[in-house]
Amino acid sequence: MSNISITFAIIGAIVVLFIWNRIPVVIIALGTALALYATGVLNLGQSLAGLGDTAVIFIASLFVVSAGLEATGVTAWAGQLLISRAGTSRTRLLVIMLLLIAVLTAVISVNGAVAALLPVVVVAAVRLGRPTSQLLMPLAFGAHAGSLLALTGTPVNVLVVEASRGAGVAPFGYFEFAIAGVPLLAGTIAIIVLFGQRLLPHRSGRNIPPDLSRHARTLVEQYKLDNELFQLRVRAGSPYAGMAQSDVELTDYPGISVVALQPGDGPGPMRRRILQVGDILIVRGEPATVASLAADKHLAFRSDDAPGDAAGDITDTLFNRTSGLAEVVIPPRSELVGKPVFPGMVTPSGNLIILAIQRRGEDRGPSETILAAGDTMLLQGTWKALDENLDDPDVLLVDSPEIVRHQAVPMGPGAKQAIGVLAVMVVLLATGLVPAVVAGLVAACAMVLFGVLRVEQAYRAINWTTVILIGGMTPLSTAMSETGAAQLMADALVRVVSDANVLPVPYALLAGLFWLTAILGQLISNTATALILIPIAISAAADLGVSARPVLMCLTVAAAASFLTPVATPVNLMVMGPGGYRFGDYWKLGLPLLLWFFVVATFLVPVFWSFH
């Protein structure tokens, strides 16, 4: 059996396994590399070379950059901007949403952009009284169009740039994709605005992501923190001025507990050990007792010097860019069962404060409580402290602080650094001062060095399924080129388009390649489709004596046209549940979009990327 026959057999098996969808894609990808080695088509180095390919490393680095923008609330800010600007107009909402998702996709990839905006769009739908099905499929399809605005929009763009270098033609520039991407996006917006309401179903999903934008206010109300909670400012001459935090003692004032200490120059928990004039004590207790404390210790009520309304907006005080709240439940068999706690108590880590304890929904008050299974506690601390100290089997988190922060704290800590890192990466990629993989790695490392992400968060941010899929499938492209399988398929494609006599042969080649890529991309990953068809496209271009650039750009557009099925891309599946979609809903709006992408790929691409 020849190497060409073996390669075709492996391709056939891969397509069947992808469609069957019973084996994880990473196993299929790694199995592809191992099969090429086991059958002798490639040597060991060639079979595993994809895992260290520069394109793979660059794509992994983009996931880290994307996570940095999400973790610092940049995407939450963009989402809140969407809601505030959209108003009640359906057209305005769709146009702003599609422009926003396109821009985000261009810089942080399709999957990251949709994942970040999905909860925001669901909230917008609920607040405006619109079915989520009318917004979420447009969100996913707008991301596909936006992926052609810049190099970083999708892994396929990166693969095509690497392939163009291998084909001996000038690689595409960072924003060069936008020449095709802008018409694609404009047409996508027009089709969705004009026909979307009729082509999309009118229903909402069952598993809608929670709206956590008012999470802090919900917790404050549930735990009654806005009742009998006061902010006291340390005046000059107060015995607390110059005192260590640990020495603040309120035993002479029964029923009063310290909830938090804050510096006088801004929100957030106290980082200094020594209290200064102007610092704030947030205490909880009876108004009369608090008034007595204020008089004895020379403290001023922060609001109007009156105990009745001194709490002010406690939500902003406890929940802001630097600090937040977390609710935990004590599970059975926790080591905390039987431990004494009280409001104002600092946890053993020294970084979190217990604000309140409830049992069966009833507040336990300021006195000491012996914890029992099922009790809930409200904790306050810096976001970093919440992230680091609540990964503990002795407590169960009700809502992850990381997820809450992403939704509820726009432009949080590190946002400026994250935007700066992104800007530098874009400049490096756009100018070509360094190779793309170097720019990506520098940006990913900067996200960690500047404290935007921890190392563990950077590891978690990488979509290892995508990375391994590309790394495992890349040797297949090598095998197709080296064995002559790509040339054989290219010759067959050229013969078919040459005999069609419908379009001039170069245009017919683009049309045939588009439909081959688009149809295969509805059934398997568009990244895997691109890896299979890139060597065929390059060989076909060489057979006809035309430049590989328009052919590769046509393939890129076709790979983005994954509209007809929910399994075509991860984002199509991502919106299926929250949007209440069924399998047959996708093609109704997807078909006109697919036809528009075909027009751009076949007739507009050659205008800007000449065949010669």
The string of pLDDT tens digits covering residues 3-24 is 989 998 998 898 888 778 788 8
Contact 248, 275 (CB under 8 A): yes
68 or 261: which carries more pLDDT confidence? 68
Residue 279 is assigned to a structural domain of this protein: yes
Cα separation, 17 vs 324, whole angstroms? 46
Q: Nearest 5°: CA angle at 495, between 491 and 501?
A: 150
pLDDT at 208: 64
Cα separation, 519 vs 136, whole angstroms? 23
Cα separation, 506 vs 245, whole angstroms? 77
pLDDT at 309: 39
Domain count, the chain: 3
Output the six-digit token pair for 324.
Answer: 């937040």
Residue 379 has pLDDT above 70, yes or no: yes
Close Cβ partners of 545 (under 8 Å, ≥ 6 residues apart): none
Shared domain for 286 and 373, answered yes or no, is no
Q: What percent of the chain has pLDDT over 70?
A: 93
Res. 313 pLDDT band, cuts 50 70 90:
low
Cα separation, 270 vs 113, whole angstroms? 35
pLDDT at 286: 80
Q: Nearest 5°: CA angle at 378, between 376 and 381?
A: 145
Shared domain for 83 and 204, answered yes or no, is yes
Res. 213 pLDDT band, cuts 50 70 90:
low
Residue among 137, 134, 161 at smallest CA distance from 59 = 161
Shared domain for 74 and 196, answered yes or no, is yes
Query: Of the given ranges (19-23, 99-103, 443-447, 449-453), which has the lowest mean pLDDT?
Result: 19-23
pLDDT at 312: 41
Residue 339 is assigned to a structural domain of this protein: yes
Shared domain for 94 and 229, answered yes or no, is no
Shared domain for 386 and 291, answered yes or no, is no
The string of pLDDT tens digits covering residues 519-534 is 888 877 788 888 888 9
Residue 582 has pLDDT above 70, yes or no: yes
Residue 147 has pLDDT above 90, yes or no: yes
Cα separation, 513 vs 602, whole angstroms? 9
Residue 73 is assigned to a structural domain of this protein: yes
Shared domain for 335 and 233, answered yes or no, is no
Shared domain for 351 and 223, answered yes or no, is no
pLDDT at 310: 38
**3-state SS, residue 609:** coil
Residue 170, Cα to own-chain centre: how many angstroms? Answer: 32
Residue among 306, 245, 302 at smallest CA distance from 275 = 245
Q: Determine the structural domain holding residue 429 and report its residue range.
A: 63-210+413-464
Cα separation, 52 vs 533, whole angstroms? 21
The pairing of strands 340-341 and 376-382 is unpaired
Res. 81 pLDDT band, cuts 50 70 90:
confident
Residue 306 has pLDDT above 60, yes or no: no
Residue 465 has pLDDT above 90, yes or no: no
| Single-letter residue type at 46 | Q
CATH number at residue 237: 3.30.70.1450
- Tell me the pLDDT of the chain averaged across its residues: 85
Query: Of the given ranges (19-28, 31-40, 245-254), which has the lowest mean pLDDT?
Result: 245-254
Last residue of a domain, one of 316, 346, 374: 316
Residue 594 has pLDDT above 90, yes or no: yes
220-to-177, 321, 323 alpha-carbon distances in Å = 48, 17, 14
Mean pLDDT of 331-358: 86
Res. 600 pLDDT band, cuts 50 70 90:
very high
Shared domain for 448 and 391, answered yes or no, is no
Query: Of the given ranges (311-315, 475-479, 533-537), which has the lowest mean pLDDT?
Result: 311-315
Cα separation, 578 vs 556, whole angstroms? 29
Cα separation, 184 vs 161, whole angstroms? 20
Query: Residue 430, class by beta-carbon neighbours within 10 Å (0-12 exposed, 13-18 middle, 19+ buried)?
Result: middle
Residue 184 has pLDDT above 60, yes or no: yes
pLDDT at 384: 80
Last residue of a domain, one of 264, 295, 316: 316
Cα separation, 215 vs 345, whole angstroms? 23
